[in-house]
Each structure stands twice: as C-alpha cells, then as structure tokens.
Chain A
Amino acid sequence: MSEQSNRRRAGRSFDPFLVVGGAAVVAAIGLGLLVDPDEPRPAADTSGVAPTQRDRDRSSVICPAGPGTIRLSNVDGSGRFSVYRGEEQNDSSVQQGATTDLGGKKAAVLSGTGELATGAVAARVDTAGATECPEPSAVAWFPGVGAGATHASVLELVNPDTGPASVDVIVHSGNGVVEAPGLRGISVAGRGSATFDLAQVLPRRDELTLEVVTNRGRVQPFVRDAVDELGSGPNSSDWLAPQAEPRDQNVLLGLPVGKGNRYLTLMNPSDSQTRATVSVLTEDSVFVPEGAEEVTVGPNGSTTVLLSEVLPKQGLADAVGLVVDAPTPLVAGLRSFVEDDLTHTTTGPRIDSTTAVMVPGADSTLILGDVAGAGSVRLEYLDGAGKRIGDDTEDLVADRGYRFAVPKKTALVRLEPKGTQFAASVLSAEEGARLVRALPQVRSTQLPHVQPGQL
C-alpha cells in the first residue's frame, strides 16, 4: 500500500513538460553555440592576390637635352619609334641591333610599340661625356652634385607624357636635408621639361646629393655636372647618372685611369649614422687595401671625401671598380677629374635579361661587376648597321670584376646573361672619358588583381 502511494507520488512529481522544457533549454543552447556563420570577408581582406605578368605593349625611354647626339637602337625588334621633342613629334625607323643617330639637342622621348615595345637602348653622346636614356623612374638619387662656382650641376626634369607632373627635389648635404623651397613641388608641363641650375637655385660650396621624387605623373631627371677650375684652370662637364635606390653594397664600375682627383660621395638616407667600407674590385677579387679607412656618414647626410684619403693610391691599380659596403643602404658616386676630364661613376642596376649598351666612343672597355652568382654572359659586338663583328662568352662568379676590350667600330654591345645577374658599363677612353651604363630591359608588366569592392 505504502509502496503504491509512493509510486503514485513519484508519478505525480514527474512532469513531462519539465523534461521537455529542460531538453529544449539544453538543445537550444547546444545548437546555438554550434552556430558559426562565415565571417564577412570583404574584398579588402580577400586581396593579397599577387599580380600576374604580361608582355608590355609600349615603352618610352627619355634622353636629356644636351650637346652631341642621341643614338638609338633596339635589341628586340625593328620598327618605327615615335620621337617626341616637346610638342614636336616625328618617327624614326630602327632595325634590330642597328644604331640610329637621331641628332638634336632637345630632350627626346622615344616611344615604341609593337616589336619596339621593349628592347630600346639609347644614349646621348657628346665629346665630353655620355649618358644612357632610361625609362622614367619615380625616384632617382644623384650623389655628388655641386652648386658652387667651381663645381656646378644642372638638373633637368623631362616629362614624357601629355599630362603635367609634379616633382620634389630633396637636397642632402653633410648636415642633412637642405631647405630648398624652389625645388619643392615643381610642376613639369606635359611633354615639357624644366631645368634648374643648382648654383643659382641653391648656391653653396659643399657637395650635395639630390633625391628626385616624382609625386604625380612621370618624369625622368638628368644631371649635367661641370667642373670649372676658375681662371686658366681646366674645365670639363659630363653627365651624372642616377642611382635608382640606396643599396647596402654599391658597386661603382668604370674608373677612368689617369692623374687627378677622385671624390667619393656617400649619402645615408637613414636616420642614424653609418660607417662605410670602401674596397677595390679587380678581375681577381674584392679587397680592402691596407691603410683603407672607413667613411662615416651622418643621418640623412651626404659626405664627400677625396678617394685618396680613404684608399691608398696604389690600391687603385688594376681596379675595375669600387665597392662600398655599409650596414645600411647608401647612395654612392665617384666623381673623377682626371686628365682634366670629368667623369661620374654611379651604381648601375643589375641586368637579368638580354639588353645592350651603347658604345659611347672609341677605345672602349666593357666592364662587368656586381655579379650576383655563378653564371655566364654572352656578348655580341654589333656595328652601326647591326652587324655582328665579334662575340664573347665568359663564365662569371661573384666578387670579381671583368673587363672586355670592345672591338673597333662597335656601336652596340649586346649582353645576354645566363644564370646570373650583373651590372655593366662601357667606358670609352677616347679624349674625354665617357661612361655609359647598361640598363635592364623590362619586358613584362604587372597585371594587378582587380575586383569589385564593397561600398
């Protein structure tokens, strides 16, 4: 009896709704906690997709205004270049490997499409000097410019496009950045150019480094440097080719031989002082000669030293070039005033694919250095008509320099790197040394990943 009543009581206390409710609570919380929808991944977050490469369909190289002539060739194909000189435009036909003399003192923009979309090689050559004609770059460094009476530089900014461009020129001296309001926010009209005589814009006696930054549009800067030993002293001028970016190791290829002063300018764009070691590149090795001294460069400063002060004279014998090493990236340039002739040597870019370099005059030597690793190079010497008059193949290793005598009548040296990258220059020892650097060819362009974004 009592068992029965117990059971009944137990039965009464059992409430199905409580069980259902409790189960629902557990189910609700359990199921709810499992819910995990996709996080929104807006397009900004789904980016990071690397661009793809595509062959270029046009390119332009820019030559500065100046004395002498413009020599033009193409290693990739034949066709007609559009040549813009200010608003004036004409065409010039080019055969692959052949060199065309365009003449003219004005700055020129040489645009190629089709077969000529890549492979353009051009240089302005005169009796005193020569410089290669590059594609426009957003930033360019010019170490060792002058703004005084005896050493003065002229900056020319050439805008290859129809729209205006805007440029800032930042001047670095030994004490850091120099205020130069006249060189800030320079507007260069479409297809126009602007020229600044630094001695007038910013008269000062110390050696400087220019950093030319293009903010809008495209501009290629050029610097024509002149040394004038006042009075009856000698004077000379040459082009100062820019360095594209500061590097930990700067390799200066092409040292004119002879008697005279050599000035090494080092620019340190970092905010801390740095010390650079200058070593000598020969065909056998790179070495720091005994007695060499380190050069100290202040933050954002540009220092110019007489090379003889840091490097014993005998060290330069057999030198193919100089190597400047520093713990932080530097810009480096060597101004040589030897045999009353001015020559600038700056760090040139490495070449990774077939290109060519214009031979600026007789008695030329092709200098290779800054070799990235073991590989080889094939050289072809082409005359003005593009005919091969000689070739050479050389295995290359790092930390060595190479020198090749360029045959007479060679107008263009075609370089074909295999398995390595290197820098190259041609130094003509004809009266008034002329130095032209080989520039890499950009044959493909980036196709960025483009997608509709969120609003």
Chain B
Amino acid sequence: MLSIVSDPSLPPPSTPPGPSGPAPGPGPSGTRGSDVAVVLVSHNGARWLPTVIEGIAAQRVAPDRVVAVDTTSRDQSPELLTAAFGAPLTARGDTSYPAAVDLALRHLDEIGDGSEWIWLLHDDSTPDPDALGELLAATARNPEADILGPKLREWPSLRRLLEVGVTISGTGQRELGLERGEYDQGQHDEQRSVLAVNTAGMLVRRRVLDALGGFDEQLPIFGNDIDFGWRAAAAGHGCVVVPDAVVFHAEAAHRGLRSTPLTGKHTHYQERRAALFTLLVNASGPGLVFQTFRLAFGTLLRMIGFFLVRSPGEALDDLAALVSVYSKPSKIAAGRRRRKAERSANPVGPGKASEEERGRRVRSLLAPRWLPYRHGLDLVGDVFSAVTDQASDVAERRRIAAAELDPSSLAARRVSRSDLDDPDADEEAEADLDAQSALGRFVTNPISLLLTVFVIAALILARPAFGDFAGGALSPAPESGGSWWGLFGETWHELAQGTDVPAPGYVPVLALLSLIAGASGAVTVLLVLAVPFGLWGAWRFLRVAGRLIDPLGAPRWLLLIGAAGYALVPVASGAWGQGRLGLVVASALLPWLAHAALGFADPEPRRRWPAGWRTGLLLALTASFAPVAWFVVLALVVVTGAIGLAVNARAVRSRQVWGPMLVTLAVPAVLLLPWWLPALTSGGGAGLLLDTGRLPLPAVAGSDLLLGRLPDAGAPLWAGVVLLALAALALVPRSSRLAVAACWVIIAILAGTALLLSLVGIDLPSGVQPVGLGYPMILIQGAALTALVLGGIGFARAGVPAPVRWVFGLVAAVVPVVGLFQFATGEVRLGDDPGSVVPEYMSERVQHEPERGILVMTGVAEDGLDYRVLRGDGVRLGEDEILALTPEDSGLTDVITRLTSEPNPDVVAELADAGIEYLVYPGPVDPTIASGLDASGGLAQASASEAGTRAWRVTRELDGNALAAPDGLDTWVRPLLIAVSGVGLLVTLVLCAPTGERRRRRDDPADPAGPELPGAPGAPVAPGAQPAAPATANPGGRRIR
C-alpha cells in the first residue's frame, strides 16, 4: 500500500491578499492561461483537503484562479485553504452548494475575473494532474459543449468507477450506466453526450452558468447536478463527459461520512427529495400527472423493499421525502415556471434547436423506461442469493476472528494460508469451472452424479404421495385451500359439536402453499420435496460445520453420506411411510434451522441478531408442524446456557450472546400466538406437547428414540445401531473430538429432555396419548449424523491409514443405503385409508352442510360405546388436532347414553337439536341397542355401505343453529392475535432478511472509506501513483448480506 504525502518540493503558498488567490502554481510541467477559475467549496473537509489542494496544484494545465468557499468548517479546513489559496470566502454553515457557488461567482465578478470556464471541485474530490488539461482539450474538440465532466473514480480505491456521466430514471434513481464496483479498465473511455455530470470536477462555461441562474437553491446539496444538466439540455446546451479527465471523489456526503446542517443525518432523505423534486419540476407538462402518481406508488414499493432489507430508516426517509415534496406544490410550480422560462429563452450556445428537438434530445439522454424494472429484478436476485448464502461463511469469519485475537495461532496460519492460497485457488478453480462446460463438469464428478441420482430416486420413490394418498396418520387434504384459511381464521369451528380449540400452526402454512399447488398438491409438495430439501439443507449445514473444524471442510463423499443419510431420516424412521407429515416437514427443516443457528457462533455480534431472528423464524415454522420442537430448543438453550455459564460466565452474560437466543425462542411464541394462546385458554394446551397428525400417536420409547425409529415402523433397528456406534467412534480422532463431543452432549440433553417430557401424561377426551417425542428423535439422528461427519473429517485428516478410512466410509454409507432401501421397500401407509364407514350418499348429502352431522358409534353395551360426530366432508388434514383436543360434549354423551339404553322420541329430538342427521353403527352391533334404535321412533332405518353396519336417519327437523358459537365467545380476539402474529412475521422477515450495509459503513473499521483511513495504513494513494490493491467493499451500490 502506498500513502500520499505532501510533496515537499512544492513552494509554501504565499500569504494571499484576499479571499481568493492565484492558483498555487502549475504542476511540474503545467502551463497557465487556461481561462479557468476553480471554485472549491469546502465544509469540514480537512480530512481530504491536503490531497485536493495538492491535486489542484499538480494540474499540468493550471487554472488561472482558485476561489475557495468555506461554509464555516469546524476543522482545519479554513487554515488549509488559507495556506493554499489565501483566505477563503466564508459563508454560514447551512449555506447550500448552489449558494456557495453563487458566492464564488459573485466574488469573481467583484475582482473582475472574466474566466470563460468555471471548474467546480469539492473538498473531497481531487483531480488527476491531467484532468483540467483533458477537459480543456475536449472543449476545443467540442465547441458546442458547454458543460464537461471528468470520469469520477472512487477515492480511496482509485480504481473503481463512480460516474462517467449521469442521468436519472423515471423513478428518480440516479443512473450511472455502470455495474456495481466496476473497475476502470478503460471500458467507458468514450467521450459522449450525457444528461449531466457531477459537480465534482464539472467544467462549465461561465455564461451558461449565468444564463441558467446557477444551480437550483431548492436542491441544496444532492441532485443539483442532474437538475442543472437537465435544465441545460432543455435550454439546448451540450453536456459531455470526458473520460480522459479523471477526478477522484470520496462522496463523503453521499456516503454519510460527514453530515452537514444541510444533509442532517438523513442523507437518503435529501437524495430522495432531490430526485423527486428534479423529476417533478423538469417533467413535461403532459407527463406530470402520471409522474406524480407513479412516484407516490413507487415510493410505497420502495418502502416495502427497504423494510424487507431491514432499512426502515431509509423507508421512512423515502416517505418523508415524498411528503416533503408533495406538500409544497407551490415550490414545484415555481420551479416549473422557472424552467419553462429558461427553455423559452434563446439558448446562448450554438445548439439553436427548436424546443421540440430539445425535448427529444433530453428524452434520449434520460434513462430508458425499462431500467427501473431491471433494477427490481436485480434486487430480487441479490436478495435471494443473499438469503441462501447467509451464515455459510460463519466458519471463515470465526477463523479470521480467531486469527485476529491470536496472530500466532493455528487459525491465523490457516487464515494466511487461505488468504494467500485459497482465494487464488478458488478463483482458478472457478475459472476452470467456467471454462468447462456444465455437462462436462457434471459427468466427471461422481459426487454430483450420485447426488443427482439420489434426488431422482427420492422423487420417484415418493410416488405414493401423488394422487389420493391419505392414510396412516395423514388425513385427506380438503378440497381446496379455502378450508384451511377458514380453519385458520375462524374462532369457532363447526367440527364435532362446535369447538373453539384453535387450528394447529401448520394450517396457515398449508393454506399458503395451497395458493400455489392446491390443497392436495400442497401436501404432495411437502412429502415429495422433503427428502431433496433435507438433503440440500443437510449438505449446506454439514459443509459449514465441517469448515468449523477444518478450513478445508469435509470431503465431499463424507458430505454426501451425511446429507443423504440425514435426508432419509424421516423415511428410515417410518414417519414418511406412516404419513406423519409434521415430523417429515420438521425433519426437512432441521438442517436449515441448524444452519441458521450456526450464526450464533458468528464472531461479529451484530450478525448474531439476524441469526437469532432467522433461527426463530425457522423454529416457528418447525414448531407449527412439530410443536414439541420449541420445548426441545428451550431445553437445549437452557442446558447449553448453563454449561456456558459454568465454562465462561462472562461470555454468556453478554447480551450479544443470550439476546439472539432469546429472540429465537420468542419469535415462535409471537408467530404461533393464534395457535398457542387460544390452545392454552380453551383447554387444548396438551396439543403443544403432542406430535401432529391422526391419533393414535406413536409412543417413541427408549431404543426407538435413540435409534430413530417410530414404534413398529421404519428401517431395521440395526441400522440405527450402526449410526450410533459410528457417532461414538467419531470421538476417536483428536482433531474433531471437541465438535463430536459437543454433538454427544446435545444428544444427551435431548435424551434427558425426552425423559422429562415422557413423564408428562396427556389425557385427551378420547384417551391417553403419548407425549410427542418424534422431534427429539429426529434431532438425535441429526446430531449423530453430524458427529459421524465431523469424526469422518477427523479420520480423513488425521493421517489415519487409508483402509481404516475406507472401512469407516463404507460402514457409514450403510446409513443412507438402508434409508433408501426402506424408501423403496418399506411399509407405506399413504393411500391405504380404509375409507369411511359412512356411506357415500350420506357424505354427499352433508358435505356442504356442517349442521347435518353424522354420529358414528362403535362398541356394545357390555363393553362400552365410543362415538364421534363427523361433519362436512369428514375429518380433513388440519382438523385432527382440533378434534383430538376438543373437550367432551357431556350433553351429547348423555343423549347418546340414553339413546343406546332406552331410546324414545324425546331422546331422538335431542339428537336433532344437536345437529345430527345420521347415525351410523358399524358392526359388530349390539342387537339390543340396534333394535332399540329401530324402535325409538324418530329414527328411520337407512342403508349402510357394509354388511353388519346399521344406519339410521333422524326424521326430526334438525336445529340449524346447533353448531352456533356460544354467546360469550370473543370473536375479536382471534383476528387480533392473527394481526399480531402477522406483524410479528413481517418484523421477523425484515429483521432476518439480509441487510443493505451501505449505511453501516461509518461504523465499520474494516471499511476502506471509513473515517480513520486518511493517514492510516491503507489510506488513499496519490492520484497518479500506483493504484491500491482492489478493495473488497462495494462502493456506492447497496451490498446485501
């Protein structure tokens, strides 16, 4: 890195007689008599001024005069200016840029300076020694050009392009025509007409400046260049960018590196306000109304965008700018009148074109109409890639942080190695990859081939989930997603005898999915994509986890075994085959959750908070399908927190450590509020400890829990034993032992949590159900597979003999192979739904009339009878949990008791009042009960679908209000909870979304444009000197992480 130093050969500036003085002399080979006066406006620019002054001094074609205007700087700017150019003109601190320029021009008039050209420079823009010369040369080549601008390059990187002319889009976006962070390699070195050039380095003919009345006072600091260029173009003046002239610009105000009374802290507000004002005052008359609406609507869209990238400040700035501009129509009108006058005045320059021609010319210089939409697409792409890449570089950042803490550590050596070797290697590899054809890369990579084969096999083997696939624990999906929306939105469900037990959390998720895929399709999508999605997540998670213990990461074959093994956990456990949708989805989400949770280990505290929100969001999604997940994570947080307190209390007590974890636990509580709160108040709280799906629920006990098998389902148990044994064996390699031990501690915590949970007895109205231990079971499998992969890395890197590695790998491969075998040959209960005992004609009759219920009764008097009430189109996915938790309707039980003991017309009438039209009694029937029902009066025998089944129809008129919500039910609570949850979701999405980092730079010591840099190591090089190494930051553009 080179740094700038003052040229000691420069003569000390003589004490100037007045506020302006002659230029500080030409550069080494400079000439005078350029007919150019420099106007340099400064405000607290001492940081950059020495370089700027030297830049002016170094001009090979020197300006005749330099007029410096200082707007009451509080730093050494006045002294620096005085030393260079004599005492500067001073103005108040809130003097706008147009006013400052105007002040300088009046001063020039006062001292009789008749320079033809005015060269505007900022205190943070320093010209290349040839800049003025090239600009003046361009004036000679283009006599019709009245405004000329240099190529602006970033300061301090000096290599990145900032502006080569500028224009504005219909949405007010400042359009540069450059890629983000584009390096200047001469690719834009064509001199061309543009709408405007930046005032930093603008060379403008004095008479044009005068004729247009200078810059608009309404645009005090931002955007006045575009407005000026637009006005000039409208008046027929030419504006040319001269890329041979280079000016380096720090864009201090734009980047928020300094705030002035004019910018305040809201530079974005000022910029946006300027853009709106510019568009409205310069828009053509017919287009004004359209533009007015478009900008208002566009502002709303932009605000949403800003919220999504967690920039609420900028969103509010946008809104404030809109309000500010729109609330003062008189200013717009005045501005438009002024521009109209300018346009109609005869142009001073040579372009004496008609006003129409000038209008066409201006339009050609404005940004194309499609440009904003392309930007929108770019943004979506950026956000997507940022979302998918989040947290994936935690391992790298941890290593860098460790290296910074202890430069002598192994981590530091690894970092330096990776700095020096890996990026190049990566780049080379990437270049190689680019060079090869995609197909070539694919077929020569066995891992890619295997992955593809695996995914295709998983999709094919998931074929039972296509078509009519209800069965096992999975109830059929409703006909349309509308049923799910209804179930989610309503407080009172017309199920059974009416219930206020809330819909389970996954219902709105399915409803959302059904918007795309339809109701049945939503379930198909979840079941079919669960394995590939789990594979993807597990691959990503294990890759990062591997890099945490070894910079080279896990070998790809090991990743494949681990990821494929994990992806098949829901299959091997039997959850998939049994149609336990909740466990399948939770299982597919787990690696993503774990991946997000890796963010807690980020060395940068500010990255942990988004990780907390992301993990919380994924946990909420998981808990909506497997509510026990929340309790399991709570236990993990509590126990690991306690362990952390014992090991390193100070670190754990830091808000940056426990805060994000608290966020993770709080997010599901808010997002699932419409489920959890009513569940607790309506007596359905037990459901939060149950697995979702049809009863009876699986009792995951002892060995099943450890070996990852639902009772009487799934792959052979020995395969689970193999996994556990390998996970234990993974403790052997020393290099990965810590991480593997951590996995085992997690498994132990999970087992302990499961043990505690298993003590909870859950007594539902329909019988005792086991607590839902499916999720801890899957987590244990995940942790064991992670241990296996991490141990595998240890084996692979520890110089273990190849045969041992081979054996380890081969045995480990048993896990996914058994899973795949189970997928292909295991019991699949999807599609084996035995069908209803209810005859088809009854179902059809009551399908759309929930008030016509069907009472299904089983058993004999001697042993007791069970009953349930079916309504609508039967029990559909999402309703099982509600019905299971709905308290017994003792009134109905009493009616049925009397109906089955001594039926009479009065009892039948009560049945009708309960909204029951049919009674179905599948065999074996109790003849006494059946004959009693026959004899009851009020019941007409109905035909049943199966022999041995008896059925009756209630001939009494049914009570249409049988299912009406009770009077005291607060129907406003649920919408409120949904609203709170919706706002919570928005906030969570915003806070876990990748962030635009531009405005954060001020605090970022690593940022090359940061405040400490001038004079510090890595400070800008002098113009003309060897450019600095490429900086990593992305100037100007929004970086999304």
Contacts and interface: CB of A to CB of B under 8 A. Distances in A.
Given A29-B751, A50-B864, A218-B934, 18 more contacts: A17-B737, A24-B741, A28-B744, A35-B751, A37-B758, A40-B699, A40-B767, A40-B770, A42-B695, A43-B767, A47-B863, A136-B935, A138-B928, A450-B893, A452-B496, A452-B766, A452-B888, A454-B866
B741 A17 contact: yes
Interface string B858-871: 11111111111010
Interface of chain B, helix or strand or loop or mixed? mixed
24 contacts: A18-B731, A21-B745, A30-B751, A31-B751, A35-B702, A35-B758, A36-B758, A37-B773, A41-B767, A47-B866, A49-B864, A50-B864, A51-B862, A54-B901, A216-B930, A447-B901, A448-B929, A451-B765, A452-B496, A453-B866, A455-B694, A455-B766, A455-B868, A455-B884
A171 B960 CA distance: 49
Contact of B731 (A21, A29, A453): A21
Interface string A42-81: 1111111111001011100000000000000000000000
B705 interface: yes
B861 A448 contact: yes
Nearest to B695: A454
Interface in A1-47: 15, 17-18, 20-22, 24-25, 27-47
A51 B861 contact: yes
A250 interface: no
Given A21-B744, A160-B935, A451 B866 contact: yes
Contacts of B843: none
A363 interface: no
Interface string A242-279: 00000000000000000000000000000000000000
Contacts of A161: 934-937
A281 to B, nearest CB: 32
Contact of B697 (A29, A40, A136, A165): A40
Contacts of B940: 163
Nearest to A50: B862
A216 B941 contact: yes
A17 B875 CA distance: 52
A58 B902 contact: yes
B740 interface: yes
Given A38-B769, A165-B934, A455-B868, A31 B755 contact: yes
B640 interface: no
B758 A451 contact: no
Given A17-B741, A24-B744, A450-B865, A218 B935 contact: yes
Interface of B: 496, 694-703, 705-706, 724, 728, 731, 734, 737-738, 740-741, 744-745, 747-748, 750-752, 754-755, 757-758, 761-762, 765-771, 773, 780, 856, 858-868, 870, 875, 880, 883-884, 888-889, 893, 896-898, 900-902, 904, 926-932, 934-937, 939-941, 950
Contacts of B859: 44, 47, 448
Interface size class of A (residues with CB under 8 A): 35 or more
Contacts of A214: 927, 931
A38 B751 contact: no
A137 to B, nearest CB: 9
A39 B902 contact: no
A446 interface: yes
A38 B761 contact: yes
Contacts of B935: 136, 160-161, 163, 217-218
A35 B893 contact: no
Contacts of B928: 138, 446
A24 B738 CA distance: 12
A93 interface: no
B771 A38 contact: yes
A292 B859 CA distance: 48
B741 A446 contact: no
A56 B904 CA distance: 12
Contacts of A34: 702, 755
A32 B862 contact: no
Most chain B CB within 10 A, of A57, A162, A165, is at A162
Interface string A85-121: 0000000000000000000000000000000000000
Given A40-B697, A447-B901, A454-B868, A35 B705 contact: yes
Contacts of B780: 28, 32
Contacts of B703: 32-33
A24 B743 CA distance: 9
Which of B754, B859, B898, B932 has the largest number of chain A CB atoms within 10 A? B859
Nearest to A21: B741
A451 B699 CA distance: 23
A397 to B, nearest CB: 33
B897 A448 contact: yes
B868 A138 contact: no
B695 A446 contact: no
Given A18-B731, A37-B701, A451 B864 contact: yes
B737 A35 contact: no
Contacts of A138: 927-928, 931
Nearest to B772: A37
Contact of B863 (A33, A49, A57, A453): A49
B767 A448 contact: no
B747 A35 contact: no
A32 B706 contact: yes
B864 A20 contact: no
B700 to A, nearest CB: 7
A445 interface: yes
B748 A24 contact: yes
A57 B902 contact: yes
Contacts of A37: 699-701, 757-758, 770-771, 773
A18, A31, A51, A445 pick with most chain B CB within 10 angstroms: A31
A13 to B, nearest CB: 10
B683 to A, nearest CB: 14
Contact of B702 (A32, A48, A218): A32
Contacts of B898: 447
A448 B757 CA distance: 35
A38 B770 contact: yes
A165 B766 CA distance: 34
A33 B706 contact: yes
Interface string A138-179: 100000000000000000000011111100000000000000
B246 to A, nearest CB: 58
A439 to B, nearest CB: 17
Contact of A15 (B694, B737, B761, B901): B737
A221 B761 CA distance: 53
A268 to B, nearest CB: 23
A14 to B, nearest CB: 12
B731 A163 contact: no
Candidate in B755, B904, B939 with the most chain A CB atoms within 10 angstroms: B755
